[in-house]
């Protein structure tokens, strides 16, 4: 079993998850058959795929036509025909164990022993499903998140008998379709993401049930002070209160009284018009920042951190996998293990111990792994170790930033795709640390790009600055200035949205190359703010007063072609030409004279703020400095000999 052997995929189920998985599979170039039990189910699923692909084509988010992708999709109601030639089967049927047993019993009969059998279950144990087949070593979980086309995360889950070969093949296949897999190495209920999100919704519900807080107070605090994308009650209404209720009931977990009351009353959230909020006669989730009050957020986060300690301590997942899971699967502003290290694990442990002593409830009992970390003095960032190790002598570890230094090119990737690479305080600090600490003797040129396929960076993550004092925000972030002052050329590779703080980061770079589908803007004025990070000043210097004021005052987006016409970017190119164009720039910069480029950048940057006479003096000094370098001698000799120079930065 290996990725090389996966050519044809079968997806069983044409509902929201089934047709979504079918679509992403076909988008990745695989032939795929989508099967359901009735023709109308299959037709509805196929029409949903057609609609989605046309939207993607219209927005230029795919490199081929919708019709080309659709040509790789077949549909049927015949199970045997659907899976006969499949190398990978993904079951996406309703969450009914008996139904899944029936399907997998048939799969064992209709597929060869080498066919990889996966289930997309979100709540049933993989081992229970695999019990229906004799060859349970080839059964694993591939848990996609809804909607699969937009959500990057897939949990790759081991059942009790799943072989490493099967899990690795599943992991590699997930990567091949452009998704981000994480291993779940033990078949625990809830896997990784739902294990963490349980306390996020459950604990506030217990607190409201006990009259310790209000729904709006809890939601406002978790969103406006702690930076989560939704409040716990707002999220419950969105996903369906009954969904969480049944998960808790099946897992024999305590159910908060308010949750039980809502289910018994039939108030299940948005789908019924009322839940924790009123969506028919009211304004829905209408909490405001001032509703936050004194909600005990540490109680909620301590429980989530304790569940993370369970996952790590029981070898279910690594801290990196847990954090990737909650960021991509739940949109959390940062990983829960990372946040734990910032809070301090001793603070978390003390909170849990106090609550456990006061209530006697098992849900507060600290996990032994958390106790072990604290006992060993590994209490987080300040101690130099916690869930992660922190070594000041090395670069990183970075949690929102990826980098690679190869052949003189420092490639930097903003890694917050679930937040469209929004610039949080942590991410800006990591940018500052990397560009301040990297050995510039090893670097000829640097690039910055965004992860995912939607944005370079869609702006500043305002929620990430929730705890900052207004006076602190008046200081220009060192991240922008470090990039601006980096002694090597920096190229912004822009594909998608480049807005607000993202635009300000791109402006701090020396050169900007963008795909035609990219858009640019300074939308801060719509929030009653102005661009930060040097945005107002760099925009004026690059565009001139008239165009800079239009961009800032109106807050509108402009497309890449107009950005190129205005001089905001160096090139606007089609996506298929993007990498080649960037490569041409990098070749010139990587092979150029390092000292010459360093001096040129400094003189041009500093000369903007000086009088013409002073700027000319700087230019003259730079010219004189360079004239005595070995690089100038090499450049002169290469010119005379009609060959390419080989600069060494001396």
Q: Is 546 exposed, middle or buried (0-12, 13-18, 19+ CB in 10 A)?
A: exposed
Give backbone dihedrals phi and psi of 314, rounded to 5 degrees, phi first. Answer: -95, 10
Tokens at residue 455, please?
């944005």
Say whether 504 is catalytic.
Answer: yes
**DSSP type of residue 146:** S
Say if residues 314 and 371 touch (Cβ distance below 8 Å): no
Q: Is 119 helix (H, G, I), strand (E, B) or coil?
A: strand
Residues for the chain: how many in total? 650
- Residues with Cβ within 8 Å of 181's Cβ and at least 6 positions away in sequence, in order, are 153, 154, 155, 156, 170, 171, 174, 175
Give the count of beta carbons closer than 10 Å to the beta carbon of residue 633: 13
Active site residue: 504, 576, 577, 644, which one?
504
Q: Is 405 helix (H, G, I), strand (E, B) or coil?
A: strand
Give the count of beta carbons closer than 10 Å to the beta carbon of residue 517: 18
CA-to-CA separations, 394 to 210, 337, 427, 435, 482, in angstroms, rounded: 48, 20, 17, 13, 18
Tokens at residue 310, please?
């369970």
Tokens at residue 622, please?
């730079």
Active site residue: 524, 550, 584, 644, which one?
524
Give the count of beta carbons closer than 10 Å to the beta carbon of residue 544: 12
Place of tokens 């293990």: 337
Give the count of beta carbons closer than 10 Å to the beta carbon of residue 157: 28
Cα gap 525→254, rounded to integer Å: 47
Say whether 524 is catalytic.
Answer: yes
Tokens at residue 283, please?
């304004």
Q: Between helices 193-209 and 232-239, what is the axis angle to 10°?
A: 110
Q: What are the catalytic residues?
A: 504, 524
């Amino acid at each position: 079993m290996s990725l090389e052997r996966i050519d044809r995929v079968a997806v069983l189920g044409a509902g929201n998850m089934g047709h979504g998985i079918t679509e992403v599979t076909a988008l990745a170039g695989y032939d795929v058959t989508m099967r359901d039990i009735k023709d109308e189910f299959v037709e509805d699923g196929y029409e949903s795929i057609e609609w989605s692909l046309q939207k993607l084509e219209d927005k230029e988010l795919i490199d081929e036509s919708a019709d080309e992708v659709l040509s790789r999709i077949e549909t049927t109601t015949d199970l045997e025909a659907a899976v006969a030639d499949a190398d990978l089967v993904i079951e996406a049927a309703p969450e009914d164990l008996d139904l899944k047993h029936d399907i997998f019993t048939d799969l064992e009969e209709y597929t060869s022993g080498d066919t990889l059998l996966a289930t997309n279950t979100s709540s049933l144990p993989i081992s229970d499903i695999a019990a229906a087949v004799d060859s349970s070593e080839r059964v694993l979980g591939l848990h996609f998140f809804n909607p699969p086309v937009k959500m990057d995360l897939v949990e790759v889950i081991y059942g009790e008998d799943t072989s490493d070969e099967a899990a690795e093949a599943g992991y590699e296949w997930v990567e091949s379709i452009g998704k981000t897999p994480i291993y779940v190495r033990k078949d625990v209920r809830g896997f990784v993401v739902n294990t963490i999100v349980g306390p996020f919704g459950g604990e506030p519900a217990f607190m409201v049930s006990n009259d310790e807080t209000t729904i709006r107070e809890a939601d406002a605090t978790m969103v406006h002070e702690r930076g989560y994308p939704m409040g716990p009650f707002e999220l419950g209404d969105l996903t369906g209160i009954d969904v969480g209720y049944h998960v808790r009931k099946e897992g024999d977990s305590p159910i908060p009284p308010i949750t039980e009351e809502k289910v018994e009353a039939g108030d299940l959230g948005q789908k019924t018009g009322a839940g924790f909020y009123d969506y028919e006669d009211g304004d829905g989730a209408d909490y405001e920042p001032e509703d936050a009050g004194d909600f005990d957020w540490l109680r909620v986060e301590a429980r989530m951190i304790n569940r993370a300690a369970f996952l790590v301590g029981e070898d279910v997942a690594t801290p990196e996998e847990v954090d990737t899971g909650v960021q991509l699967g739940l949109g959390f502003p940062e990983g829960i293990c990372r946040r734990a290290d910032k809070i301090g694990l001793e603070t978390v442990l003390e909170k849990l111990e106090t609550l456990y002593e006061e209530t006697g409830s098992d849900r507060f009992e600290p996990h032994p792994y958390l106790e072990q970390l604290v006992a060993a003095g590994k209490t987080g960032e300040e101690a130099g170790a916690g869930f992660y190790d922190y070594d000041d002598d090395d670069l990183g570890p970075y949690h929102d930033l990826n980098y690679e230094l190869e052949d003189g090119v420092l490639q930097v990737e903003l890694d917050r795709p679930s937040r469209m690479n929004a610039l949080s305080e942590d991410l800006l600090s990591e940018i500052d640390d990397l560009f301040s600490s990297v050995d510039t003797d090893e670097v000829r040129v640097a690039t910055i790009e965004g992860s995912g396929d939607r944005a370079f960076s869609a702006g500043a993550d305002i929620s990430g600055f929730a705890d900052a004092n207004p006076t602190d925000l008046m200081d220009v972030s060192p991240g922008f200035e470090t990039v601006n002052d980096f002694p090597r050329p920096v190229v912004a590779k822009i594909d998608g949205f480049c807005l607000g703080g993202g635009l300000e980061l791109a402006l701090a770079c020396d050169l900007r190359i963008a795909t035609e589908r990219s858009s640019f803007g300074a939308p801060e004025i719509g929030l009653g703010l102005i661009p930060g990070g040097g945005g107002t000043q760099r925009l004026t210097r690059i565009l001139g007063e008239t165009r800079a004021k239009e961009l800032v005052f109106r807050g509108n987006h402009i497309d890449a072609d107009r950005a190129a016409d205005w001089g905001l970017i160096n090139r606007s190119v089609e996506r298929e030409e993007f990498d080649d164009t960037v490569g041409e720039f990098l070749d010139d910069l990587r092979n150029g004279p390092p000292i010459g480029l360093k001096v040129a950048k400094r003189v041009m940057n500093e000369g903007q703020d000086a009088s013409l006479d002073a700027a000319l003096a700087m230019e003259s000094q730079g010219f004189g400095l360079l004239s005595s370098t070995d690089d100038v001698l090499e450049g002169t000799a290469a010119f005379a000999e009609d060959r390419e120079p080989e600069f060494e930065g001396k």
